[in-house]
Amino acid sequence: MKENDFNIRIAGEAGYGIASAGLALAKIALRSGYFVFDYSEYPSLIRGGHNIYTLRISGEQIYSPSLPVDFLIALNQDAVDFNKDQLSPQSFILLNSDKASDSGLSSGIRALPIPLVKIALDNKGSEVMMNNVALGAITFLLKAEFSVLESGIREAFSWATSEIIDLNIKVAQKGFDYAKDNFAAEEIKFDLKKIKAKPRLLLTGNDAFGLGAIKAGCKFFAAYPMTPINSLIVYFAAKAKELNLVYFQPEDEIAAINSALGAAVCGVRSMTASSGGGFSLMVEALGMAGMTETPLVIIEGQRPGPSSGMPTWTGQGDLRFVLHASQDDFPRIVLAPGDVEECFWLMIDAFNLAEKYQLPVIVLTDKYLAESRQSINLIDDSKVEIERGKIVSLKDSLQDYHRYEFAQDGVSPRAFIGQTKEPFFTTSYEHNEAGFAAEDIETRKAMMEKRMKKLETLEKEMSQPIIYGSKDAEFGFISWGSNKGIILEAQKILASQRIKTSFLHLNFLNPFPAEAVAEFCQDKQVLLLEQNISGQLAGLIREKTGLKIKDQFLKYDGRPFYPEEIADKVKQIL
Amino acid sequence: MNFKTKSKIIWCKGCGNFGILTALQKAFEQLGLNSNQIMAVYGIGCHGHMANYLRVYNFEAIHGRTLPVAIGAKLANKELKVIAIAGDGDQLGEGGNHLIHASRKNPDITCLIHNNQIYSLTVGQASPTSEKGMKTKTTPQGVVDPQLNPLALGIASGATFVARSFSGDIPHLVNILTQAINHQGFSLVDILQPCVSLNHTNTFTWYRERIYKLEETGYLPNAKNLAFQKSQEWGEKIPTGIFYQEERLTLEEQLLPDKNEILAKQPLETSIKKLLSEFQ
Ligand SMILES: Cc1ncc(C[n+]2csc(CCOP(=O)(O)OP(=O)(O)O)c2C)c(N)n1
Ligand code: SF4
């Protein structure tokens, strides 16, 4: 057990409020001044399957989950059996003695038995309240203040009647008392005593997308429910009335993207979101956004495929798909934020770039980033700038307005349907400057070149990838998207063992920063990491730079990387 | 107001689409609309070529997807008159699901189905409205499926204005179109549109021999069951006119957060201080 860094896991059957107990615990830690990072695993079932929630708490900034689990709250026997391999000999288990026993645990592990169900029932609660009994106990064991838990429960149950809230607080108090009478809190070296800290935010990637989109001025969001973007939909829908936004629930993903496009051509910043399956249905309209030069933000939340795949697990298997989806060539931007903070800021970029270059911007995330919570420093939203690019309005003379006028940089001035003196013409067919269908050789070539020119223009002002770690390291990581935090943690482990590393993180995948990647690879041994079986980024690097990266760590089991396994891998290679 | 463009019209001589174009231009004139108050969203098919001939805000979308684009636009700018211009293959085949849901959601949009009972742009394959037994390029032994009935589908799905007209009777079509555009809610107009090149069964003469006008029979379009029954009539006699009309709150009235504001004209700058504080 690291003094300052502690992993708690709650495990049990789906339907027992594990996620809400986890959130309450995360908030206790956050408000006591600690950094937190959480991660949930659950099968694609509402009830009955095995759910786990893991919360990492630290006095220092942390970027990912880590292993081993220091403290397991086991609500049933599966919780013990399925998770014992991730415990260390110094770990503790708060064991629900009504449903599980400690037989078969390796030596050293300390079991703290507590009858969670009995305590709930004895106090007029129901079996599902055992999670709150457990929260009471852990609050005592980690030396946190009960009042923090109490306010956490009040918040989590804000939808409920005051009787239900009181009852939940009462059983939590009983859990606290039981632990106080039966266990010695000093044995656990970690504590959650309040420490002085600046206030922080606790956000999932989806929360940050929602906040970023709203801040960017997105007013229309059409999306058909699909894991892992559901919590983004729920957030946007909940805020729509208050903030003058529209969440539109369409009949399918085809309607989702087409309606977002319809709103966009009228001048509304709009967005759609789905996972790979839903994105598959959007592909034809993605091309229409390219052809009609309509700004559109599309969030693609990856999960393991193909097809229905593993709906509630994580992966990075859709990079190639989003880079090439739809017929023929047209410019598109592909972004892949690395963490919660980047989810916010890249969402701002996504909307600005979509309008400045009049094209679709695809933002790749995955289940791990979308649903894991991370504590971050407060966001200074006064730094956000909205850039809409070239726009003509009613004020300008529009007698001869041509929607697709040729321009040096490829970007024709844009007008909004419904906001000009004269109507103008937009079509998914190849067209001339005026927006009428055209198939002659000259027009076709010129229009294709005009559209593709936009990417060249963009490349000139594109920000370069960030390199983390030691500049003079002889060993480097390359990766993209949500692996960022995990690799930063692996770098910390390696640094503590005097292994210097550097890390080039890609969050801009199209246009591709080929020069920066080539330069990074020049003078060091490189390990590439990504979560797909074919090395999709490796292939892209080969295509764009000619370089073949030999050492690859590819994971495709639906679970994120762990920093510990990455550090081990590096030591094998070196 | 001039609703014509300078583009050369490439429809076949005598095509039923001409009548629809003319009728739409007249209807807009009669309604006193300006061309910058109207957005037309087109599907892909011969009907869609109208995007080059009708002078309003034109958005020529992809095959079957007129309605979701139209709904997005209507929510973005509720002051626009939004017309979806679709084909029978386009709206009833490729885009069938959207028709069901647009009918149900009731956006204030007018959907025209240029129903020529054949896929014309792709040169003569069977469409969902081709008659059973009709020989087409994809049905050399004759169509095996029963005809899909757009009116019955619209009524059953909750469309609040359901009508049929004929591109060979421009005054009737203008009248139906003005009422459809004026109707507050989703209006579906099935327009019998002869394809003179590829459908040699359902010709102008064929329709003229069968068509009669509901309004001349004392029919009142206010009862759903009766409307549904009427919609089943096809063959010897083909009814035209308004089959069904009701008033119901529109999608925009219910979904737009602020009834007085146009979404597309809202400032983009917004403070998220309060939202951020909820995550502390
Ligand atoms: C996704 C897709 N599938 C197929 C086509 C080919 N296609 C173009 S128009 C059309 C059918 C046209 O029939 P209809 O909608 O009745 O229109 P019409 O030409 O008769 O006006 C088809 C199948 C296409 N453009 N897009
Ligand atoms: S093929 Fe038929 S629908 Fe198309 S233009 Fe000719 S007549 Fe009209």
3-class DSSP string for A406-454: CCCCCCCCECCCCCCCCCCEEECCCECCCCCECCCHHHHHHHHHHHHHH
Closest partner residue to B65 (CB to CB) among A217, A254, A292 is A254
Structural domain contains residue A438: no
Q: Which of A357, A383, A409 is the last residue of a domain?
A: A383
* Contacting B residues, span 213-252, partner chain A, CB-CB under 8 Å: none
Closest partner residue to A263 (CB to CB) among B57, B76, B280 is B76
**Rounded CA separation A222/B71 (Å):** 11
Mean pLDDT for the stretch of residues B89-102: 98
Q: Which of A197, A220, A235 is the last residue of a domain?
A: A197
Q: What pLDDT is attached to residue A149?
A: 92
8 A C-beta contact, residue A21 and residue A58: no
Mean pLDDT for the stretch of residues B99-110: 98
- Ligand 2 mean position to B193 CA, how many Å? 9
A192 and A243 share a domain?
A: no
Q: What is the CA radius of gyration of chain B?
A: 20
Mean pLDDT for the stretch of residues B232-237: 97
- Mapped to the 3 state alphabet, what secondary structure does B78-91 carry? CCCEEEEEEEHHHH
A226 and A306 share a domain?
A: yes
Structure tokens at A214: 């709203």
CATH no. for residue A155?
3.40.920.10
Residue showing tokens 């027009």: A443
**Rounded CA separation B243/B117 (Å):** 20
A179 and A87 share a domain?
A: yes
Q: What pLDDT is attached to residue A1?
A: 46
Question: Of B18, B44, B66, B118, which is best to mutate to test ligand 1, by the most ligand atoms within 8 angstroms of its C-beta?
Answer: B44
8 A C-beta contact, residue A384 and residue A45: no
Which residues contact ligand 1 via a Cβ below 6 A? B 44-47, 63, 87-90, 114, 116, 119-122, 127
8 A C-beta contact, residue A486 and residue A566: yes
A278 and A359 share a domain?
A: yes
**Rounded CA separation A237/A184 (Å):** 46
8 A C-beta contact, residue A404 and residue A451: no
The sign of the dihedral angle between the CA atoms of B77, B83, B87, B88 is positive
Domain that holds residue A501: 466-573
A265 and A329 share a domain?
A: yes
8 A C-beta contact, residue B36 and residue B79: no
A42 and A190 share a domain?
A: yes
Spatial neighbors of A7 by CB under 8 A, at least 6 apart, are A54, A55, A56, A57, A65, A66, A67, A68, A69, A70, A71
Structure tokens at A443: 């027009």
- Going along chain B from its start, the domains and CATH numbers come out as 17-277 (3.40.50.970)
A116 and A173 share a domain?
A: yes
Query: A259 φ, ψ to 5°?
Result: -70, -35
Structural domain contains residue A389: no
- Cβ contact, residue pair A421, B36, below 8 Å: yes
Mean pLDDT for the stretch of residues B203-209: 98
Q: What is the DSSP letter of B177?
A: H
Q: What pLDDT is attached to residue B169?
A: 98
Structure tokens at A337: 């934020």
Work out how many domains chain A is built from and give that number.
3
pTM of this structure:
0.97
Structural domain contains residue A434: no
Mean pLDDT for the stretch of residues B57-86: 98
- Give pLDDT tens digits for B185-196: 999 999 999 999
A286 and A161 share a domain?
A: no
A191 and A209 share a domain?
A: no
Spatial neighbors of A257 by CB under 8 A, at least 6 apart, are A222, A272, A282, A285, A286, A289, A296, A298
A144 and A240 share a domain?
A: no
Selected for mutation to probe chain B from A232, A239, A265, A293 (highest B CB count within 10 Å) is: A265
**Rounded CA separation A215/A217 (Å):** 5
A148 and A247 share a domain?
A: no
Structural domain contains residue A528: yes
Structural domain contains residue A390: no
Residue in chain B nearest A374 by alpha carbon: B279
Which residues contact ligand 2 via a Cβ below 6 A? B 11-12, 15, 17, 46, 116, 120, 195-198
Structural domain contains residue A431: no
List chain A pLDDT tens, one digit each, 574 residues.
Answer: 466 899 999 999 988 889 989 999 999 999 999 999 999 999 887 666 899 999 999 999 999 999 999 999 999 999 999 999 999 999 999 999 999 998 888 888 999 999 999 999 999 999 999 999 999 999 999 999 899 999 988 888 888 899 999 999 999 999 999 999 999 999 998 999 999 999 999 999 999 999 999 999 999 999 999 999 999 999 999 999 999 999 999 999 999 999 999 999 999 999 999 999 999 999 999 999 999 999 999 999 999 999 999 999 999 999 999 999 999 999 999 999 999 999 999 999 999 999 999 999 999 999 999 999 999 999 999 999 999 999 987 666 667 899 999 999 999 999 999 999 999 999 999 999 999 999 999 999 999 999 999 999 999 988 899 999 998 899 999 999 999 999 999 999 999 999 999 999 999 999 999 999 999 999 899 999 999 999 999 999 999 999 999 999 999 999 999 999 999 999 999 8
Q: What pLDDT is attached to residue A269?
A: 98
8 A C-beta contact, residue A501 and residue A491: yes
How far apart, in Å, are the Cα atoms of A20 and each of A50, A135, A150? 15, 11, 14
**Rounded CA separation A85/A523 (Å):** 39
CATH no. for residue A488?
3.40.50.920
A378 and A328 share a domain?
A: yes
**How many residues appear in chain B?**
280
Q: Which of A164, A197, A230 is the last residue of a domain?
A: A197
Structure tokens at A137: 């106990």
**Rounded CA separation A155/A153 (Å):** 5
Model confidence at B69, pLDDT cuts 50, 70, 90, reads very high
Structure tokens at A480: 């993209």
Structural domain contains residue A453: no
> Quick one: which ligand is closest to B19's CA?
2
> Quick one: which ligand is closest to B89's CA?
1
Spatial neighbors of B217 by CB under 8 A, at least 6 apart, are none
Structural domain contains residue A443: no
Instruction: Report CA A222 to chain centroid distance, whole Å.
Output: 19
ipTM of this complex: 0.98
8 A C-beta contact, residue B65 and residue A283: no
Q: What pLDDT is attached to residue A440?
A: 98
Pairing of strands B161-166, B81-87: unpaired
CATH no. for residue A246?
3.40.50.970
Residue type, B7: S
